[in-house]
Amino acid sequence: MRCDDARQELLAGRAAGSSDELDQHVRECAGCAAVASDQRALDALLAHDQPHVAGPGFDTRFFARLEAERAAGTKKRALFSMRMWLWALVPVAAGVALLVGRPKRDDAPVAPIETQGAPMLMEALGEGDPDDLELASDLELLEDLEVVQRLDELEAFELLSDIDPAELDRLAAEEGAP
Amino acid sequence: MNDPDAELMLTFCRGREDAFVELYRRYRDRIVAFCRRIVGTDAQAEEAAQDVFIKLYRAREGYAPRSRFSTFLYRIAANHCLNLQARVEHKVVQRGVEVDARPLPGQADRAPAPHAALEQGELRDQLARALATLPDRQRAALVLVHYEGLSYEEAAEAIDVTESALKSLIHRARAAMMHELAPFMQGAAGAGRGSKGARHAM
């Protein structure tokens, strides 16, 4: 064993008698023997340090803390368990909501929606169910528009019906119409 | 691995709380002593030791015996105490106070003669002071190996360093202790040698 290796071991707290190789080197090398002696002296001093012992009431305080920890753990587990149940219920609740909110197709006949006012829109929608509220609202607006337009046409027709045919011929002649 | 304490811990993991109490009884004094050598006061050390056992209690859900149980427990203790120390030092720095509120190295020179010190218990005080002057990791390494009897490998695992880094920490810690305790060393190892050998070796 080389001196460097021996001293590394000794200074790291390895006792001289801990390995045959180290022991032999220390016996043969005066320098390393001095280092070993110093280290033994340090160990002897360190041995005077008495370990601190737990003071009175240490166990009582600890077991009180442990009890609180157990109680907190139980509460936490209960909360966790409840949360897990709630999370498990989410898909069930979503399924129920879908079933309740689903438009009735087969049960009761739904009043047909007047689509004549919005043929283009109905074409765009295809044969799909207009269950969207917004869409239904749009359709209603279109229907209203259709009704108003029809009323306008009706009024115009009535105006035309009030015109005298002779007067019409005269007006046409003035305009050069055939 | 034939480790009865690890078996006890596994028994505790299976729900037997009496196994935990048995582990607590086996390790209480060692953990209290370890914490006292790392943190500042008796009260802080006892609080820290209780924290360590509470952490051990909480560790039951993820425990797997990868090393000896004692190494596992000392790892918890070392982490906890080093974190506490780091927090204390951080607070001291934030308040603008000198970080090292521990006794100055020169104070060791004013210590009484070894025999009187032994009689008065002052050597113990001086040892505690010298230990307190060490940086936290050096102190933890020295305490784990010298006082708690862990092997280099176990101590390295406990403070999360390599074995060679641990040896280096212990080497420096012992050199510093030798310097701090120089007057006592002369009494203990014979006049004139003191820490000369250590200095020569370094």
- Specify whether domain B102-202 bears CATH 2.70.50.60: no
Over residues A64-77, the pLDDT tens digits come to 999 998 888 776 66
Report CB contact under 8 Å: B146, A46.
Answer: yes
How far does the CA of residue A42 sit from the closest CA of chain B (Å)? 7
Across chain B, what does the average pLDDT equal? 81
- The ipTM, to two decimals, is 0.74
pLDDT band at residue A153 under the 50/70/90 scheme? low
Mean pLDDT, rounded, for A97-111:
66
How far does the CA of residue A87 sit from the closest CA of chain B (Å)? 23
Q: What is the pLDDT of residue A48?
A: 82
pLDDT at A21 over 80: yes
CA A111, distance to chain mean position in Å, is 41
Report CB contact under 8 Å: A53, B32.
Answer: yes
**A30 close contact with B: CB closer than 8 A:** no
Share of chain B above pLDDT 70, in %: 75
Backbone CA torsion sign across B73, B78, B81, B84: negative
Share of chain A above pLDDT 70, in %: 57
Q: What is the pLDDT of residue B116?
A: 57
Over residues B47-98, the pLDDT tens digits come to 999 999 999 999 998 899 889 999 999 999 999 999 988 887 666 666 655 4
Name which of A166-170, B34-38, B148-152 the model is least confident about: A166-170
Mean pLDDT, rounded, for A152-165:
64
Alpha-carbon distance values, B127 to A50, B27, B114, B199 (Å)? 10, 24, 12, 20
8 Å CB contact between A105 and A131: no
pLDDT at A119 over 50: yes
pLDDT band at residue A99 under the 50/70/90 scheme? confident
8 Å CB contact between B174 and A13: yes
- Quick one: DSSP state of residue A55? P
Angle between helices A30-46 and A3-11 (to 10 degrees): 0
pLDDT band at residue B142 under the 50/70/90 scheme? very high
Report CB contact under 8 Å: A7, B189.
Answer: no
Mean pLDDT, rounded, for A168-176:
75
Every domain of chain B and the residues it spans: 1-101, 102-202
* d(C-alpha B49, C-alpha A54), whole Å: 9
Please state the three-class secondary structure of B70-119 as a single string.
Answer: HHHHHHHHHHHHHHHHHHHHHHHHHCCCCCCCCCCHHHHHHCCCHHHHHH
Report CB contact under 8 Å: B174, A51.
Answer: no
**B189 close contact with A: CB closer than 8 A:** yes
A52 against A81, higher pLDDT: A52
pLDDT at B199 over 50: no
C-alpha count within 13 angstroms, C-beta hemisphere, residue A11: 26
Query: What's the distance, Cα to Cα, between the start and end of chain A in Å?
Result: 133
C-alpha count within 13 angstroms, C-beta hemisphere, residue A147: 8
Q: What is the pLDDT of residue B128?
A: 85
Secondary structure (3-state) at A2 = coil
pLDDT band at residue A125 under the 50/70/90 scheme? low
Q: What is the pLDDT of residue A151?
A: 65
Picking from B126, B149, B139, B125, the residue whose alpha carbon sits closest to that of residue B174 is: B139
Those residues whose C-beta lies under 8 Å from the C-beta of residue B10, and which sit 6 or more positions away, are: B63, B65
A126 against B9, higher pLDDT: B9
Report CB contact under 8 Å: A12, B174.
Answer: yes
Q: Which residues of chain A neighbour B147 with C-beta distances below 8 Å?
A: 46, 49, 51
- Quick one: DSSP state of residue B146? I
Mean pLDDT, rounded, for B129-137:
91
Best to test chain B binding among A10, A52, A59, A70 (most B CBs inside 10 Å): A52
How far does the CA of residue B156 sit from the closest CA of chain A (Å)? 13
pLDDT at A55 over 50: yes
Q: What is the pLDDT of residue A157?
A: 60
Q: Which residue in A has a C-alpha nearest to residue B173's C-alpha?
A: A12
pLDDT at A170 over 90: no
pLDDT at B40 over 90: no
Widest Cα–Cα separation across chain B: 60
Across chain A, what does the average pLDDT equal? 74
Backbone CA torsion sign across B72, B73, B78, B81: positive
B134 against B187, higher pLDDT: B134
Q: How many CB pairs under 8 A join A and B?
A: 121
Pair of tokens at residue A98: 């879908």
**CATH architecture group of domain B1-101:** Orthogonal Bundle (1.10)
pTM above 0.80, yes or no: no
pLDDT band at residue B105 under the 50/70/90 scheme? very low
Backbone CA torsion sign across B162, B164, B167, B172: negative
Mean pLDDT, rounded, for A102-119:
57
Report CB contact under 8 Å: B145, A44.
Answer: no
Over residues B22-39, the pLDDT tens digits come to 999 999 999 999 999 998
8 Å CB contact between B92 and B101: yes
8 Å CB contact between B178 and A38: yes
Helix, strand, coil content of chain B in percent (nearest 5)? 75, 0, 25
Q: What is the pLDDT of residue B99?
A: 43
